[in-house]
Amino acid sequence: MKPFTTLTAVAAPLPMANVDTDKIIPARFLKTIERSGLGVHLFDTLRYDADGKERPGFVLNQEPYRHAQILIAHENFGCGSSREHAPWALLDFGIRCVIAPDFADIFHNNCFKNGILPVRLPRAVIDQLMEDAKLGANSRITIDLAAQEVVRPNGERIHFDIDPFRKKLLLEGLDDIGQTMEHAASIDAYEAKVRRERSFIPGIEVRA
């Protein structure tokens, strides 16, 4: 996983609440066995008309937002399915950070697994950042993960909270599985204990 340290980039304003995972990437594009290549379908129905032509009114079809690495949205971003194709599509498009008042749980979790930083900030702050983002190329926003700050184009620094464990994994680009493997002895011990105490639970076997 690519570490996340600091990022200075164009931010795309997406002033919508309840942006669901079907909106981020419709189910018909989940038939892939790869992680990459989904960026072209990000926000497919908002981005393209029925003939597959770009809708000029949609923010990611406009300059400079075609190159946005930050997305700013309203409440409950990423609600709906557990599909990790949603963060994969964002990442493949180039988005490394989503800023919103709050996120749906599974999407929030999935972001961290892919080196995307989800930042929660109060709606009043989001409203300011949304205005900043609308100014385009000369209005870049900076994210400093180590300092836990969003820096507005006018230099104002805004603090955000983040789980310390997740922050560390992001900063160092660490693989979760590797972290957990360090606890292998505890997992072995737990399994041995459960085999004794809950021996009534059978294993799964599919017989023909």
Partner 1 sequence: MAKTLFDKVWDAHVVERLQDGTCVLYIDRHLVHEVTSPQAFEGLRMAGRRVRRPDATIAVVDHNVPTTDRKSGIKEADSRLQVETLERNVAAFGVPYIPLLDERQGIVHIIGPELGASLPGMTIVCGDSHTSTHGALGSLAFGIGTSEVEHVLATQTLLQKPAKNMKVAVEGTLPFGVTAKDIVLAIIGRIGTAGGTGHVIEYTGSAIRALDMAGRMTVCNMSIEGGARAGMIAPDETTFEYVRGRPMAPRGEALERAIAWWKTLPSDPGAHYDKVVEIDAATIAPMVTWGTSPEAVAPITGVVPDPSEIADEAKRAQVERMLEYMALRPGQKLAEVPVDMVFIGSCTNGRIEDMRAAAEVARGRRVAPGVRALVVPGSGIVKRQAEEEGLDRVLTEAGFEWREPGCSMCLGMNPDKLTPGQRCASTSNRNFEGRQGPGGRTHLLSPAMAAAAAVMGRLADVRELAR
Toward partner 1, which CB reaches closer, 156 or 172?
172
Bridge partners (DSSP) of residue 10 are: none
User: If phi over 0 gives left and psi between -120 and 50 gives alpha, with beta otherwise, what is residue 148?
Assistant: left
Toward partner 1, which CB reaches closer, 55 or 183?
183
143 class by beta-carbon count within 10 Å (0-12 exposed, 13-18 middle, 19+ buried): buried
User: What are the C-alpha distances in Å from 27 to residues 52, 84, 134, 185, 197?
Assistant: 17, 12, 30, 40, 42
Element (H, E) at 7: strand 6-9
Residue 124 lies near partner 1 (rule: CB under 8 A): no
Question: Which residue in the set 6, 55, 82, 192 belongs to the binding site for partner 1 (CB under 8 A)?
Answer: 82
Toward partner 1, which CB reaches closer, 137 or 146?
146
Residue 122: closest CA among 107, 106, 102: 102
Question: Which residue in the set 26, 65, 94, 117 belongs to the binding site for partner 1 (CB under 8 A)?
Answer: 26
Q: Can you read off the two tokens belonging to residue 9?
A: 């980039």
Shortest distance (Å) from residue 88 CB to partner 1 = 8
Shortest distance (Å) from residue 188 CB to partner 1 = 10
Chain positions contacting partner 1, by CB under 8 A: 17-18, 20, 22-23, 26-28, 30-35, 45, 50, 74-76, 79-84, 87, 102, 104-106, 109-110, 113-114, 163-165, 176-177, 179-181, 183, 186-187, 190-191, 194, 198-206
